[in-house]
């Protein structure tokens, strides 16, 4: 290792959690070394510049929150634009606005009023009412009826999970929001947008003036790296940290196929979902629309769901009873350790970006200000 300096903190992972932790520690006079196995900072928020377009290399990242303090916090590093997430679903060539709202209901049935839409949904869903739905399909049908389920939910969900909806537990869909207004804004949060210039501006701002080493495999040099600092902050997979002592935690994976197209506008929207089961990808992103780009060419990404393995990047934790119980074993072991565990992989939970920022801020406040 090139470093011989002693630090207060070794932070494993240059994603949002590690970057916020490092920034807050530095503000309080602490020294940090951040290492990451990838060749870039920012974790999954990393943007790759292609044809002068900020391409979300690991899938769409749209920052949204109701917490003004967190919104102001990230905007201190980079101004955010006014992007509003309004995805579209493509089913057999027909387009439907998402989330399910009056525009969607008009596209499905030609209805013009909330009363008409409610009547159709109630008529379709009441025949599927069950005391205890046995699976996701029964649950969804009982909530929204056949048309919405078969056209906009079933195929997409089965592709995401790699299993039939009848084999998925009902708790995956606890509720399906139905909006009886003409409102295509996917999120209900007060604040949303994309950093102007891409997420690298945010992670770069957070890590400014902090020692960062990239392309470093922590586990290949763990003893030497740990010896560089008084305390370690670990943001990677908690099961890997403990050498899979209680078994591997399961994740769903994703594959991203990026393509440069010689057109200035391929689909007219940043996100279009493909809800048919026989189309292998779940959605197509057109990245220039995240920042209202006017470039002569465009870059699209087809997103394919994968069953994660130790060789694939883990994305979504599979929080069923088996995996949650396994995680609790790791969590209990970690509670007796001096290492700080934080972030979606270390805590085995799905985090939106504002939640990651909030968790890191809460941890540093507790650690330094109490």
Given 239, 286, 303, 347, the catalytic residue: 303
Domain ranges of the chain: 7-83+190-251+318-369, 99-172
- Range with lowest mean pLDDT among 28-37, 221-230, 304-313: 304-313
- Between residues 169 and 268, the one the model is more confident about: 268
CB atoms within 10 A of CB 323: 18
Q: Is the pLDDT of residue 1 over 50?
A: no
Average pLDDT over residues 272-283: 97
Annotation marks residue 303 as catalytic: yes
Annotation marks residue 251 as catalytic: no
Given 82, 175, 278, 369, the catalytic residue: 175
Given 179, 241, 315, 330, the catalytic residue: 179
Given 76, 255, 307, 350, the catalytic residue: 350
Given 38, 146, 221, 252, the catalytic residue: 252
In CATH, which superfamily holds the domain spanning 7-83+190-251+318-369? NAD(P)-binding Rossmann-like Domain (3.40.50.720)
**For the chain, how long is the longest CA-to-CA vector?**
71
Annotation marks residue 28 as catalytic: no
Given 149, 283, 348, 351, the catalytic residue: 283
Annotation marks residue 163 as catalytic: no
Annotation marks residue 320 as catalytic: no
Annotation marks residue 116 as catalytic: no
Burial letters 110-125, b for 16+ CB under 10 A, else e: ebeeeeebeebbeebb
Average pLDDT over residues 118-132: 93
Average pLDDT over residues 20-27: 98
pLDDT digits (tens, 9 = 90+) for 348-363: 999 999 999 999 999 9
Q: What is the predicted pLDDT for the residue at 169?
A: 86
pLDDT digits (tens, 9 = 90+) for 207-228: 999 999 999 999 999 999 999 9
Average pLDDT over residues 237-262: 95
Annotation marks residue 326 as catalytic: no
> What would the two tokens of residue 260 be?
């440069």
Average pLDDT over residues 166-174: 87
Query: Hey, is 301 helix, strand or coil?
Result: strand
Residues 6+ apart with CB under 8 A from 200: 40, 41, 42, 46, 47, 54
């Amino acid at each position: 290792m090139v470093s011989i300096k002693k630090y207060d903190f070794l932070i494993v992972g240059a994603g949002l959690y590690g970057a916020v932790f490092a920034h807050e520690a530095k503000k309080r006079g602490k020294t940090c070394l951040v290492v990451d196995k990838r060749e870039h900072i920012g974790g999954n928020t990393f943007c790759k510049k292609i044809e002068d377009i900020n391409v979300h290399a690991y899938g769409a990242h749209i920052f949204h929150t109701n917490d003004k303090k967190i919104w102001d916090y990230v905007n201190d590093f980079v101004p955010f634009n006014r992007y509003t997430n309004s995805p579209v679903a493509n089913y057999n060539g027909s387009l439907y606005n998402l989330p399910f709202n009056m525009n969607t209901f008009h596209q499905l049935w030609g209805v013009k009023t909330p009363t008409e839409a409610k009547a159709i949904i109630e008529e379709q869903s009441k025949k599927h009412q069950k005391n205890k739905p046995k699976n996701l399909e029964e649950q969804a049908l009982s909530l929204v009826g056949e048309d919405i389920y078969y056209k906009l939910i079933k195929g997409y969900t089965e592709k995401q999970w790699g299993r039939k909806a009848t084999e998925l537990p009902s708790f995956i869909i606890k509720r399906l929001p139905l909006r009886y207004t003409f409102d295509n804004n996917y999120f209900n949060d007060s604040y949303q947008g994309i950093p102007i210039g891409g997420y690298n501006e945010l992670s770069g701002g957070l890590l400014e003036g902090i020692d960062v080493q990239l392309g470093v495999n922590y586990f290949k040099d763990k003893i030497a790296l740990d010896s560089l600092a008084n305390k370690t902050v670990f943001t990677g997979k908690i099961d890997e940290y403990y050498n899979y002592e209680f078994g591997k935690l399961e994740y769903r994976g994703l594959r991203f196929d990026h393509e440069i197209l010689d057109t200035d506008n391929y689909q007219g929207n940043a996100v279009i979902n493909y809800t048919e089961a026989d189309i292998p990808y779940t959605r197509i992103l057109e990245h220039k629309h995240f920042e209202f780009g006017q470039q002569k060419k465009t870059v699209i990404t087809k997103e394919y769901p994968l069953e994660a393995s130790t060789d694939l990047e883990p994305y979504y934790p599979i929080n069923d009873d088996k995996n949650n119980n396994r995680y609790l074993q790791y969590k209990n072991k970690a509670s007796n350790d001096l290492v700080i565990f934080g972030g979606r992989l270390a805590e085995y939970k799905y985090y939106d970006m504002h939640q990651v920022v909030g968790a890191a801020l809460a941890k540093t406040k507790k650690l330094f200000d109490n």
